[in-house]
Structure 1
């Protein structure tokens, strides 16, 4: 009789052990599938974000490429009395307003004291909105425009880019000081750019001796 009872208990424990193992396996399999699904979703999200960043960079480069390489400097500008980079001197460009600009050696064509603006506007040509364009100056605004402040609406009277002249712009930033027009050879293809407008003092540095 005791042998029968022990045999029955042993069988019960064996069955219970088998059942527990099966449940654990199914749970582990389920967790594995969930983890794989989460990893795939995260990878898809990261890929989508990378593509968005790449597209933004391409759009920005397209906007810069449309800038007018050469321009006519306004004649009513006040020449800077003691600019850091006098007319005729050279400087290294540290900004990237256009492809081939950053790192190029520039010749200073003119240095002027005026009010400088960073603006956002919709081109009159119907192209996409241009945001945080650097730079336009007081003399690039519609004649008779008072000195503006950040947030003001102004009308542009310059042709730095196609669709700029006559466009209504929002002033994003205001800077008072010396502004420069420069000539330089693009580092990308050697193309000569004359009277590029505009560079601030912070976007130029003295060449190494």
Structure 2
């Protein structure tokens, strides 16, 4: 009987270690953003018509921790809010104008970065033209709305969690992807 329990215990450890390995592999696997050219617009220019948030959770100049996986090194990175705006944030699937495979569920493009979007939220499945230049091949790309969320979006400066060059004016992270940084540097 003890041999059966020992065998089951060893089997369970092997299964769990396999799961852990799979999770770590998934965390370190290249994201869709990594596979694209890492052109990242850092202009800080905001789209016409975008309004500053009236009462954001995180204010300009405040230090934050980022909990997003849009780009490599972003999750767990520390940064500083450089802009807070009230708008509608979309995840979109688009085909880059410079060729390449479609980018699925890109987060985030905002209402003011979609051609002729108007002021009402766009429905899931709506076909649009992007006027964002966050990534190479995004400006003018045809896209499909995956999700829509009325929220505060933030532009942030951050240093990647695992090292690398600082990122300036990253567009965009949504409120749920940030938390207060417990210490200031």
- TM-score for the superposition, normalised by structure 2: 0.76
**Alignment partner for residue 94 of structure 1, among 67, 83, 96?**
67
Describe the superposition over 1:56-95 as per-residue Cα deviations: whole angstroms up to 9, x where unpaired: x436353366251523322531111110001111110011
Higher relative contact order (CA 8 A, sep 6+): 2
Task: Give the distance between the partners of 1:182 and 1:114, measured in 2 at CA.
Answer: 16
Matching of residue 183 in structure 1 with residue 157 in structure 2: yes
Task: Give the distance between the partners of 1:78 and 1:181, measured in 2 at CA.
Answer: 13
Mind listing any 5+ residue stretches in structure 2 that lack a counterpart? 1-21
Aligned to 1:197: 171
**Alignment partner for residue 105 of structure 2, among 117, 132, 156?**
132
Aligned residue-pair number? 157
Runs of 4+ deviating beyond 3 Å: none
**Alignment partner for residue 79 of structure 2, among 106, 119, 126?**
106
Higher strand fraction: Structure 1 or Structure 2?
2
Matching of residue 79 in structure 1 with residue 52 in structure 2: yes
Task: Give the distance between the partners of 1:64 and 1:106, measured in 2 at CA.
Answer: 23
Change (3 A) 1:61 1:125: closer
Change (3 A) 1:192 1:59: closer
Equivalent residues in 2 for 1:135-154, closer than 5 Å: 135-142=108-115, 144-146=116-118, 147=120, 148-154=122-128
Aligned to 1:60: 32
Change (3 A) 1:161 1:61: closer
**Alignment partner for residue 161 of structure 1, among 115, 135, 138?**
135
Which of structures 1 and 2 has the bigger CA Rg? 1
Task: Give the distance between the partners of 2:87 and 2:64, measured in 1 at CA.
Answer: 20
Matching of residue 70 in structure 1 with residue 42 in structure 2: yes
